[in-house]
Structures are given as structure tokens and as C-alpha cells.
Amino acid sequence: MNKKIAILGCGTAGIHLAYELLSKPYFEVTIFTKETAEEIRSGRVRSTQVHFSPALTREERYHMPNWQEAKKLHTVHISVGGKTLFSGHLDNHAQSVDQRLYFSECMNDLEQKGVHFVYQKVTADQLTQLAESYDLIVDCTGRSGPVAPFQLNRGFEQPKSPLRKCSAGYFHGVRHAEPAGIIAHIIPGEGELFEIPAYTEHGQTTVLFVEAIPGGKLDVFNRVRHAIDFKTAMIDLTESFFPEIRERMDLEVLDLCDEQAFIRTAIRPKVHLPYCTVNGKTVIGCGDSVILNDPITGQGDNTASFVTEQLFLSLIEDLDSGWNEATAEKYWERIKPYVTHVIGWSNAMMKPLPDHVLGMIMQGAEDSAVAAHIAKWFEHPTTAYNDFFEKNGVLSQ
Ligand SMILES: Cc1cc2nc3c(=O)[nH]c(=O)nc-3n(C[C@H](O)[C@H](O)[C@H](O)COP(=O)(O)OP(=O)(O)OC[C@H]3O[C@@H](n4cnc5c(N)ncnc54)[C@H](O)[C@@H]3O)c2cc1C
């Protein structure tokens, strides 16, 4: 008999999980989500969404839409205090496709492939009712979630307030540095600016994504409400702190790719124990609803993709024995090391970098093998975690 699964939320986690479940004939999937594909497509940008190669490989494995038109990003460039140190090669290319386009295309495709959609905002009260109708509920409600009463997991560092203010805009009129890649411009003591080629409905753009230390010199977008003000603030900021980017801007052409192509937010990282029981049924969490991270390391989508596949594999393994707390625990044991690495590394990136890490970054300027190793931090966050903590013995969990 088919197993009925309700997914709450249709962002990266909900979409990846739905495609994974579709790869087997015995799942009946319903997605409850508060926005239609069209509302998402015509709405505000949500992310900068670099998908590194493990996530791209999963997209291929589960026959998700592919984006041939999007620029392939082969490198990570690091610049500190205005000085370009190196450009490290990724193992395989990464890609950024505007979530407005990616989500809306995937939702239409999933609907055609038989996934049932219910457009509503699910509340905690409704969970009890849903638990009666479905074999499993998966909470993928993102950073506005969770809806389910998951416990906060105090074994993870939970900063009391956001460590960065995030402001990102998708621009036409900024020439990419070559070879195409992600550029991390670091201003010690102030924050970072990430430059990311991203594909949108309006073609290829350059995302300028500022991660400002609150109250610092890069924290300049507080009063910005409209696209025009965002553009002006970004021009002023690049003039003062990132002259190398300013030189690649063509002011005649420079503009956000549409009025909604900027975002301002701040995220307080937190981790929940990703399972609980509601009305006798197991509810599981995937993505930001349970593993919320500052985007400084570009890992939220990549983590959502990783954990949904681990959930999918756990569900398959326990298909005959039924899904209960043991299945949920198995899922958590599978993802815990990865989550520990992503959260530990991301939080560490927002503090002054340890001397041995700074030393490694300086070495990257001299040695292309070290530069490539550092680029792989983003592809394989466990490598980063080991470099930050294990080798130095600063922290081991
Ligand atoms: C500025 C910025 C830059 C980022 N850059 C990157 C990057 O480069 N790489 C990367 O990997 N990650 C990045 N991230 C993080 C990434 O975007 C998120 O981690 C990812 O989208 C999380 O996926 P999700 O499915 O958990 O949540 P979301 O994608 O937020 O989706 C949540 C879904 O749940 C729905 N929903 C919410 N509440 C309810 C409810 N009560 N009922 C029904 N539906 C509901 C929403 O409408 C939405 O469809 C960035 C984030 C930000 C803010």
C-alpha cells in the first residue's frame, strides 16, 4: 500500500525531498505550502543559493530540472583587505539559480509528475489533524518555522543575536572577474562581500552580497526600502571599501535586475532536535526549520539537500517495519556529524579567524594546492571543520 507523506513548505528542502520520494513508486506526496509558484516567481529574492557539486549531483540523480544556461562556477577567489590573495579551483562546478525561478519551475514540474499541492499556511493546531491523515509529516517550513514542536538542541552553539546583517542584490552591469567563480572579499573586523554570478529570469546577473558585522562600517542598508536606494547604497559601499568591484561596474548599465531583486535580513543560527511526536505520529524536520545557519558559508541549501536525501534513505530502510521514533533517531544520527561540521565552521567564520587558519589562507596565495584545498571548504564542509578545529585541537565534538 502507498505511504502518504505530507511535506510542509516548498523551498529547497521540500522540493528536494519531493523529488527523492518520486523516485520510488510507493509514496503519495502532498505539499502544503503558503505561496503559489506564481507568487514566488514574481516575489522578492530569497537567497543567493550557490549549489555546490554534491547538491548538483543529487539534483541530477533525482531528475530535477537542470539549468544549462546558468554560468558554471569553477573557482573561489579570496581577497583580504582589498588585496586578491588567490583563486582556488573547486573539484566540480557550482551554480546559482535565483530561487524564484528554481522553486517555481520545480513546483510546476512536481505538480505535473503527480505531487498534490495544497496552498495554505499550516499552523501548529492543524498538525494534530494532519497526523491522522498521513503516515508521516515532514516540516520543511524554513526559517519562519518550525511549525512542529521540535526541541531546541542546546548541544550546538546558539548565538543570542545575529552575528551578521545580510544584504544582497542581483545586478546587471557588474563585469565578472575571470575565471567565473565566487569571490569572497573580506574586510577584517567589518565583514565580507561575496560576489556571485547568478542566473535569473532576466538572464545572468552578479549578486553582491554583504555580510556586515552589526553596527560596523559595512552595515549601511538599514534604512533601505526601495530598489533605487539599495543600488545607491551599494555603489557608495563599493566606492569606499571595494574599489576593485567598483572598477568593474558600468554605471550606465548598473541596476538591480528587477524591483524585487534585493533582500535584507539577519539570521540567528539555531539547531533543533529534528523529530517529535504529534498525536502518536512521528514528525521530522529538514532544512532551515531545524538547522538554521548564517549564509556566510553558503551552506543552507546544500545542507537541506543533504539531509533530505538522508531522510529519504532512512525511510526506505524502515519501509516495512513502519516509521517511528527509531527511524527518526536513525535519520538524526546520520546527519548529526555533517550538521556539526556546517554549524561549527559557519559560526567560526563569523568570529576573528584563528591564527592557523589565517596562516593557511596566506599560504594559499603562494601555493595553488592550498588554494584549491580552501576552495573545497565550500564543497565539503567537513574539510573546513577539520581545518578549523580538529587539526588544531581547539574543539572536538
Ligand atoms: C541572503 C541569503 C543568502 C543565502 N545564500 C546561500 C547560498 O549561497 N548557498 C546556500 O546553500 N544557502 C544559502 N542561503 C540559505 C538558503 O537559502 C536556505 O538555507 C534554504 O532556502 C533553506 O531551504 P528550506 O527549504 O529549509 O527553506 P525555504 O527555502 O525558506 O522554504 C521554506 C518554505 O516553507 C514555506 N512555509 C513557511 N512557513 C509555512 C507554513 N506555516 N505553512 C506552509 N508553508 C510554509 C515557505 O513559503 C517556503 O516555501 C542563503 C540565505 C540567505 C538569507
What pLDDT is recorded for position 392? 54
Return the ligand 1 atom nearest residue 301 CA. 11
Please tell me the residue having the least CA distance from ligand 1 atom 18.
Answer: 300
pLDDT tens for the 397 residues of the chain, in order:
699 999 999 999 999 999 999 999 999 999 999 999 999 999 999 999 999 999 999 999 999 999 999 999 999 999 999 899 999 999 999 999 999 999 999 999 999 999 999 999 999 999 999 999 999 999 999 999 999 999 999 999 999 999 999 999 999 999 988 888 999 999 999 999 999 999 999 999 999 999 999 999 999 999 999 999 999 999 999 999 999 999 999 999 999 999 999 999 999 999 999 999 999 999 999 999 999 999 999 999 999 999 999 999 999 999 988 899 999 999 999 999 999 999 999 999 999 999 999 999 999 999 999 999 999 999 999 999 999 998 654 433 3
Spans of all domains in the chain = 3-34+120-159+270-350, 47-97+161-267+352-396
> What pLDDT, on a 0 to 100 scale, did the predictor assign at position 292?
98
**Nearest residue by C-alpha to atom 32 in ligand 1:** 142
Ligand 1 pocket member 211 (CB < 6 A)? no
Whether ligand 1 lies within 6 angstroms of the CB of 34 is answered as yes
pLDDT at 102: 98
Which among 14, 265, 269, 273 has a CA at the least distance from the CA of 122?
14
| Ligand 1 touching residue 299 (CB < 6 A) | yes
Residues 281, 136: Cα–Cα separation, whole Å: 7
287 lines ligand 1 (CB under 6 A): yes
CA 215 to ligand 1 center in whole angstroms? 26
Which residue's C-alpha comes closest to atom 51 of ligand 1?
Answer: 47
**Residue 230's pLDDT is what?**
98
Ligand 1 centroid to residue 355 C-alpha, Å: 33
Q: Which residue's alpha carbon is at the smallest distance from atom 5 of ligand 1?
A: 48
CATH code assigned to 3-34+120-159+270-350: 3.50.50.60
Atom 47 of ligand 1, nearest CA residue? 34
> Does ligand 1 come within 6 angstroms of the Cβ of 122?
yes
| HEC profile of the chain | CCEEEEEECCCHHHHHHHHHHHCCCCEEEEEEECCCHHHHHCCCCCCCCEECHHHHHHHHHCCCCCCCCCCCEEEEEEEECCEEEEEEEEEEEEEEECHHHHHHHHHHHHHHCCCEEEECCCCHHHHHHHHHHCCEEEECCHHHCCCCCCCECCCCCCCCCCCCEEEEEEEECECCCCCCEEEEEEECCCEEEEEEEEEECCEEEEEEEEEECCCCCCCCCCCCCCHHHHHHHHHHHHHHHCHHHHHCECCCCCEECCCCCEEEECCCCEEECCEEEECCEEEEECHHHCEECCHHHCCHHHHHHHHHHHHHHHHHHCCCCCCCHHHHHHHHHHHHHHHHHHHHHHHHHCCCCCHHHHHHHHHHCCCHHHHHHHHHHHHCHHHHHHHHHHCCCCCCC
Compute the distance from residue 375 Cα to the ligand 1 centre, in Å. 24
Q: If you take atom 31 of ligand 1, which residue's CA is the nearest one?
A: 11
Residue 8: phi and psi, rounded to 5, are -100, 115
CA 380 to chain centre: 14
Distance from residue 376's CA to the centre of ligand 1 (Å): 23
How close is the Cα of 130 to the center of ligand 1, in Å?
23
Classify domain 47-97+161-267+352-396 by CATH number. Answer: 3.30.9.40
- This prediction's pTM: 0.97
Q: Which residues contact 256 (CB under 8 A, 6 or more apart)?
A: 169, 170, 171, 172, 227, 230, 231, 262
Count the Cβ atoms, other than its own, within 10 Å of residue 91: 14
29 CA from centroid of ligand 1 (Å)? 20
Which atom of ligand 1 lies at the shortest distance from residue 141's CA? Answer: 34
360 lines ligand 1 (CB under 6 A): no
Ligand 1 center–CA 289 separation, angstroms:
9
The answer, yes or no, to whether any atom of ligand 1 lies below 6 A from the CB of 238, is: no
